[in-house]
């Protein structure tokens, strides 16, 4: 038996296929999300990595993420809060607080000892503190987003970057650049800005250990360090953090399949 979880986010599409023992058979990520070719490409890619599996071989399919209702072949749609919680708890059973920063939103989730969601908070309608914020800043700094963590590790100090508005923060960064402040220090400031937004949500959960990060932004070690520094706690990064939502969706699909 095989099941599939599809996470159609605002900035990327992720797919996970599980087998009968909940092992990941294949997974894929494509860096474009809902309303684009991303979901179709992610599906094509995930099947290419298997030994000839096809979508018809999937016993159940669960979709999550911003574009969860746009995928007609899904048997069920489940919210990303539930899916990220399920995926991360499967990978890190000691997780009690989840910080998930995606392309367009940031979430803090509190789990109980069974992995059930007992509280969650999401960012308001604002790009500050999300993956999109980092995209904008990387463009201004003329560097690849994947290089930001490395720059951050070389920072000698953390400059102040606003966390209230992406556009204002962008002009602050431009101003720092024109004052010849090293990119490393500016990037550390950008990461601190993202961290302050995410931690504002996380504090409301009560912050029980272990604190685990998921979502695409967790791949940025600079943001993880900034969050850990702000919370004064260790932060565990979930393995393959970008696919934890898709993994959770696949686990829900697995549960559905086993019901019947």
Q: Which residues contact 106 (CB under 8 A, 6 or more apart)?
A: 99, 100, 122, 123, 129, 130, 197, 198, 201
Site map 131..170 versus another protein, x via CB under 8 A: ----------------------------------------
Does 240 contact another protein by CB under 8 A?
no
Between CA 96 and CA 109 the distance in angstroms is 8
Two tokens, residue 193 = 């800005």
Q: Does 259 participate in binding another protein (rule CB under 8 A)?
A: no
Assess contact for 9 and 245: CB atoms under 8 A.
Answer: yes
**Does 118 contact another protein by CB under 8 A?**
yes
DSSP element (H, E) containing 34: none
Residue 95: alpha-carbon gap to chain centroid: 16
Cβ(5)–Cβ(19) below 8 Å:
no
Residue closer to another protein, measured from CB, 57 or 75: 75
Query: Quick one: CA dihedral 220, 39, 100, 121, positive or negative?
Result: positive
Given the structure tokens 């000839």, which residue do they identify? Answer: 52
* Residue 219 lies near another protein (rule: CB under 8 A): no
Q: Scanning the structure block, which residue is given the tokens 């919210």?
A: 79
**Least CB distance to another protein at residue 178 (A):** 26
Q: Give yes or no for a contact between 245 and 147, defined as CB atoms under 8 angstroms apart.
A: no
Q: Which residues contact 168 (CB under 8 A, 6 or more apart)?
A: 162
Shortest distance in whole angstroms from residue 98 CB to another protein: 12
**105 lies in the site for another protein, by CB under 8 A:** yes
- Size, binding site for another protein by CB under 8 A: 18
> Which range in 24-32, 116-124, 141-149, 207-215 contacts another protein by CB under 8 A?
116-124
**Residue span binding another protein (CB under 8 A) among the ranges 11-19, 74-82, 128-136, 237-245:** 74-82
Instruction: Pick one of 21, 54, 114, 125: the residue that binds another protein (CB under 8 A).
Output: 125
Residues 38 to 67 in contact with another protein, rule: CB under 8 A? 66
Query: Which residues contact another protein by CB under 8 A?
Result: 66, 77-82, 105, 116-122, 124-125, 204
């Amino acid at each position: 038996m095989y099941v599939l979880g599809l996470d159609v986010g605002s900035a990327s599409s992720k797919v996970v296929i599980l087998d009968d023992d909940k092992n990941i058979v294949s997974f894929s990520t494509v860096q474009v999300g809902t309303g684009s070719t991303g979901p179709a490409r992610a599906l094509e890619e995930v099947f290419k990595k298997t030994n000839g599996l096809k979508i018809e071989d999937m016993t159940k399919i669960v979709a999550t993420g911003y574009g969860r209702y746009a995928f007609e072949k899904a048997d069920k749609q489940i919210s990303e809060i539930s899916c990220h919680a399920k995926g991360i708890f499967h990978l890190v059973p000691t997780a009690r607080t989840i910080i998930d920063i995606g392309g367009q939103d940031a979430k803090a989730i509190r789990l109980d000892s069974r992995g059930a969601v007992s509280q969650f908070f999401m960012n308001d309608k604002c790009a500050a503190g999300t993956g999109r914020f980092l995209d904008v800043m990387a463009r201004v700094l003329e560097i690849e987003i994947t290089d930001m963590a490395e720059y951050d590790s070389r920072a000698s100090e953390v400059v102040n970057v606003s966390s209230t508005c992406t556009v204002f923060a962008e002009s602050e960064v431009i101003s720092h650049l024109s004052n010849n402040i090293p990119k490393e220090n500016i990037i550390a400031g950008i990461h601190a800005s993202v961290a302050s937004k995410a931690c504002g949500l996380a504090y409301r959960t009560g912050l029980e250990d272990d604190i685990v990060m998921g979502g695409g932004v967790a791949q940025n070690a600079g943001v993880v360090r900034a969050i850990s520094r702000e919370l004064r706690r260790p932060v565990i990064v979930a393995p393959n953090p970008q696919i934890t939502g898709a993994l959770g969706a696949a686990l829900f699909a697995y549960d559905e399949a086993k019901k019947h």
